Structure 1
Amino acid sequence: MAIATKTQYWTSRMNGTNPASLGGTFNDSWTVSGSGGAASGEYWRITSNGYWYQTPTTSDYTIVAALKFPNTGALPSNGTVLMRLDNADYRVEVRAKGNSSTLDLVGATTVTTPDLDLAMADDNPVAVILRLTLDASGNAKLYMREIIEDDDGATHYLSVTGSSGSGKDARWGNSSGTVDWGSVYFTNAGAFSPDELLTSDFAQDVLARMGLGIVEQIKNSTRMYLKTQVDNSSIIYGYDLSMDMLNRLSPPTVHVMVKDLGSPEFESLGGAKITQNYDVMIFVTTKGTNYENAYRLGLNIIGEIFDELYTNTGVEGTTDSIISYLAEFSPRMDNDDFVCVHRMELTYMRRIDMRHR
């Protein structure tokens, strides 16, 4: 998939309350099959027999759940379905294994998760967050704790092809054991990774739609220098701007970072829609023994970035606009300088719908 647009959002958000009567706007409730469970503190507890389901009309889904097994004497039995997505052509399920450590992702094949501490027995435990996705082609993924890559850069999610589907269905719950469900979010708008649709709408607007959206726009540019002189792997979001991280990439590199944002005014009573200003910083790093060449290369790259963003982003006059920018260029100040870093800051003004929360 791609980053979720402003019309693609969580269509259902359950945070430990009755799934049959969810509050808020743009928040579809669930239909029960079985006993359904009951509130237990800030969790929705299902004991032995209860599933909640929706019948989507689309074919690409994402469901995210924060859950725990509160009673090691009443674990879901091996094979118990915890989450299911079925688009009529393909089906994928997350199933219990009869223990408090691992789960199975089941499609046409079966793969097993690493240790998840579902019983929260470790020091300083937290509930496990699982994200299950299924697209129209049958590609299914299970992300654990919203992590895409681990500390070593290795893939941290499981993948299978879905088995044969039987009818459109999205459901969660358990037919055995006791499970506490802290939150369950669902969307029928696509199969989204943790970088493409975040659970917080605030974070989605800042990181995904703005920061990562700009990274994606620059990577997809067909302009000369961006296409031929900068490798896509060197165009990244600036999560880590330490020297150790910067030294891992070979110049030229492009780092994008949302520095801050603010809301100068609320445009409707109750704040249903607000205007937000985003300050986006872009760093272009080049290197060379001939500083003039490095300087010129960096200027061409940052110039193409400006042209790309100015013509293709912030062009919806009443809801999304670039309202200012500032560029700073890096002359050589010392004989030992071989690295040139040009910097640009753009301010976007966007009108945000606050009702998807």
Structure 2
Amino acid sequence: MAEEIKAAPPATFKVTIDNITVDVAPGTTILNAARMIGGDVTPPAMCYYSKLQGSGGKCRTCLVEVAAGSTADPRPMPKLVASCRTTVMDGMIVKNITSEKVVDARNGVVEFLLLNHPLDCPICDQAGECHLQDLGYDHGKAGTRYQFARRTFKREDLGPYIQLHMTRCILCYRCTYVADQITEKRVHGVVDRGDHAAISTYIAKAIDNDFSGNMIDVCPVGALTDKTFRFKNRVWFTKPVDAHRNCENPKCCGKATLWLRGDEVFRVTARKDEWGEVQSYDGKTGWICNTCRFDKKSTSDWTVEGVTTISRHSVVGANKYKTLVKPTETISKVLSGRNPKLLMDIHDVSEVNAKDIELSDINGPAHSTDFKNMPRSK
């Protein structure tokens, strides 16, 4: 019996998301395909992090509706799927913001995330950069149906630089993936289950590895905060600039964002892309070491490249100018090009005062004798 000859799979798959078609490589997830399109087509993600293996599938904010599975099997998927864990098929049709089911489900997911999350944005250092804050504005409700006491935890110091505020945590697991994949040893993780689940270290052990500060960068909420920056300033009052230095640590990329207030460096973070993830350079993720993050807090330690471009909609990117912007002179335009200083040159233009008298040099008030064609007072 002759063997069936199967056609070679296409080099790229065509996937349509919110009526926009894009060609992607096989194995690409729906979320990453949507990121290739960009804009509001891209589902939000609170736990997925493209630079961390195994992330995703926990927060459920990236749920989408698959209206057609593929060209070969155009049947829709019966339930909403997590776009960060679902790979595309050739001819797949996906609905994100164009689906009422997705919007309703996302509203419900945000409501669950905010059940125990404290509404302390006015005192939270993550305010202005918080992805949950953005989701709350887009999908949150004015009130809450929750009638029970909220889950609370005591604040915990994870070493000299990081403070854990577990009450704000949404258990995205990003910080544990960072410790697993970019450090030599991990001393923290998720303890307990259900409503008592929490991020913690065993036997109150401090986190002291050289790259622990990256846990702060990947946290989507204000659960992990920088103790050296805590309560010192608001991010929208600071000016982010790109800078680099020759770091002695071979694993550190040496490229960071300095947050300035005048000439003072308030904090140092890794550079972020438009999705809030650490940027990659030459195929490697731009993690920075604790020395660059916590110890190099002077502009003399860095080579400043220029103002950081904030791509996401945030108050951090408001009113930030790359160069000094001076107001243009409008009087000369009104006067058909005449110099506005002529208006102040009383001696040569108006011919009011005598030529040999400078009004500014008179010791005391001016008299009628100081002006031309003025009769002497009797």
TM-score range relative to shorter protein: under 0.3
Which entry has the higher C-alpha Rg, 1 or 2?
2
Larger RCO: Structure 1 or Structure 2 (Cα < 8 Å, ≥ 6 residues apart)?
1
Please state which structure has a larger fraction of its residues in strand: 1
- State the TM-score, normalized to the length of structure 2: 0.24
Please state which structure has a larger fraction of its residues in helix: 2
- State the TM-score, normalized to the length of structure 1: 0.25
